[in-house]
């Protein structure tokens, strides 16, 4: 438990109350009362939840309790393994290959085709909901301040992570966010504590005469992985369980797989092992998850105190996963399970209690599902599919796999027990996850996988837009005519050595 249980009601908390009390909907509320929506996001959280059995030591009691009173999707996947394209996809209901947003820039309103596109929060604002957002829901800076009011009635505090006087870890590129360790001393100084406090205030202040849509986006476990010392104490260094890793794991993956994360601030496994930082990073990631879970618990407790659990749809999701040594990397930016697999929980009206759905689903499905559950008009321009059948009966089959895209022409197809990857240059990976859950054996070169690869390739997106103007950061391009590859605008020679340590 955190060493300080009481929390201070600071100015951000009071401002959030005042802003929400003054918020008004764009239209009159519908005649029949629709359910509230509590929309909770984590940043860079993979499947390391106790209820997902993602790590044997992780402690996530509040998210486990949420899953127990709702439906847990055990095979949910993001549309992109990077913050901005993933969040842009979820909030617009469109695939990255449709929007052309692949990098950390631009935001959706900088894209000509999306300037008038009605987003998920806009839909609820226009439907007469009281809408408010706190923390990170849209990627930071992706919307200009003057664009905020048309998305949510209220934009509350979204503090960034604080920094210690000196970094704990000096990684190869040594940028400030690439750090992990016990900080700050007091939990109430954490960004996620302040975000939770604002959401708690919003729930308490929401008008009684109309439904609310309150979004709460937590920072953790995105780097820097900071949590106070008591959260680290939950995961002693002695006896810490490490991810399963094979040192030769990349021996059967195409060279093109390296291009998706060619040079990044996240260190390679080689660096972590050489510097003795693999254990500290795993420990910090676990501590960050448990602290974030505690803040989810505070928000859920506020909903319970309001007495509206039975009137509120609660969704918990993460924008993408995170490697901690698997495939010899850390971070995201890959098309493997560790990057694409995310938690997804629905609880409240329309969701069966204590259910676990193994069907492949996508974050793209959240938008049409909420329209369905809240009785709002369906949209023919959305590319996801309502999860209502699976929320009613967890074993209901799905007619679609889950697709993940990272930069133009690179896609993964995930079914119940298979993963198929096709890169822009035509190279492939195929994994039989029933036999090979760690994705250690790429069977794309096996003749007996040919039929499966053809079957799965039929699901690849037919639209593959080039990066939109203004695309930047983590952007990879490939010219099929010449074979030229560029990473963040710089050419990559075909015989260039694969970076073992980014320096």
Which one from 83, 216, 225, 357 is the annotated catalytic residue?
83
| Residues recorded for the chain | 503
Residue 138: φ, ψ to 5°: -70, 155
The token pair at 288 is 């960050």
> Which among 221, 457, 183, 177 has a CA at the least distance from the CA of 321?
221
Handedness of CA 222, 225, 226, 232 (dihedral sign): positive
Which one from 50, 55, 139, 341 is the annotated catalytic residue?
139
Residues 6+ apart with CB under 8 A from 149: none
Catalytic-residue membership of 83: yes
| DSSP letter string, 435-466 | T-TT-----TT-GGGHHHHHHHHTTS-S--PP
Task: For tokens 């909901």, name the residue.
Answer: 129
Give 93's strand partners.
Answer: none
Task: For tokens 């050419």, name the residue.
Answer: 491
Torsion of CA 381, 383, 378, 155, to 10 degrees: -90
Strands of the sheet containing 36-43, edge to edge, are 154-155, 130-135, 212-221, 36-43, 312-318, 344-347, 70-73, 355-357
The token pair at 71 is 């439906």
Give the DSSP H or E segment for 478: strand 476-479
Question: If 0-12 CB within 10 Å is exposed, 13-18 middle and 19+ buried, where does residue 501 land?
Answer: middle
Report d(CA 369, CA 359) in Å as an integer.
15
The token pair at 23 is 């918020």
Catalytic-residue membership of 357: no
Residues with catalytic roles:
83, 139
């Amino acid at each position: 438990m955190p060493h300080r249980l009481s929390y201070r009601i600071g100015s951000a908390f009071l401002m959030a109350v005042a802003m929400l009390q003054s918020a008004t909907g764009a239209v009159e509320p519908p005649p029949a009362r629709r359910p509230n929506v509590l929309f909770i996001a984590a940043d860079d959280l993979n499947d390391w939840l106790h209820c997902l059995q993602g790590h044997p030591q992780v402690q996530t009691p509040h998210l486990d309790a949420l899953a127990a009173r709702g439906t847990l999707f055990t095979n949910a996947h993001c549309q992109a393994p990077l913050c901005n394209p993933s969040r842009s996809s979820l909030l617009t209901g469109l695939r990255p290959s449709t929007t052309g947003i692949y990098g950390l820039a631009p935001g959706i309103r900088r894209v000509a085709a999306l300037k008038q596109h009605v987003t998920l929060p806009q839909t609820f604002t226009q439907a007469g909901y009281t809408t408010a957002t706190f923390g990170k829901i849209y990627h930071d800076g992706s919307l200009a301040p003057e664009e905020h009011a048309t998305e949510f009635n209220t934009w509350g505090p979204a503090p960034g992570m604080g920094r210690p006087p000196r970094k704990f870890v000096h990684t190869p590129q040594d940028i400030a966010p690439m750090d992990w360790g016990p900080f700050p001393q007091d939990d109430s100084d954490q960004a996620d504590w302040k975000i939770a406090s604002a959401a708690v205030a919003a729930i308490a202040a929401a008008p009684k005469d109309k439904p609310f849509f309150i979004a709460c986006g937590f920072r953790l476990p995105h780097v820097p992985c900071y949590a106070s010392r008591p959260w680290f104490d939950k995961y002693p260094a002695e006896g810490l369980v490490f991810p399963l890793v094979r040192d030769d794991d990349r021996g059967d993956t195409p060279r093109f797989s390296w291009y998706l994360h060619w040079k990044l601030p996240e260190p390679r496994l080689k660096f972590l092992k050489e510097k003795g930082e693999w254990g500290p990073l795993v420990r910090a990631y676990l501590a960050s998850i448990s602290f974030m879970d505690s803040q989810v618990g505070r928000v859920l407790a506020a909903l319970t105190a309001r007495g509206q659990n039975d009137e509120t749809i609660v969704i918990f999701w993460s924008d993408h996963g995170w490697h901690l040594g698997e495939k010899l990397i850390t971070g995201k930016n890959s098309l493997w399970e560790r990057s694409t697999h995310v938690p997804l929980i629905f609880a409240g009206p329309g969701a069966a209690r204590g259910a676990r759905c193994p069907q492949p689903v996508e974050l793209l499905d959240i938008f049409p599902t909420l329209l369905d559950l809240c009785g709002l008009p369906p949209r023919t321009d959305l590319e996801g599919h309502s999860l209502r059948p699976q929320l009613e009966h967890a074993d209901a089959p799905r007619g679609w796999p889950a697709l993940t895209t990272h930069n133009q022409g690179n896609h993964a197809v995930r079914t119940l027990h298979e993963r198929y990857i096709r890169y822009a240059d035509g190279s492939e990976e195929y994994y039989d996850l029933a036999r090979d859950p760690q994705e250690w054996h790429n069977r794309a070169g096996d003749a007996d996988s040919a039929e499966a690869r053809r079957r799965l390739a039929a699901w690849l997106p037919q639209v593959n837009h080039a990066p939109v103007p203004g695309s930047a950061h983590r952007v990879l391009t490939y010219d099929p005519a010449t074979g030229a590859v560029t990473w963040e605008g710089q050419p990559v020679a075909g015989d260039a050595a694969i970076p073992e340590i980014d320096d």
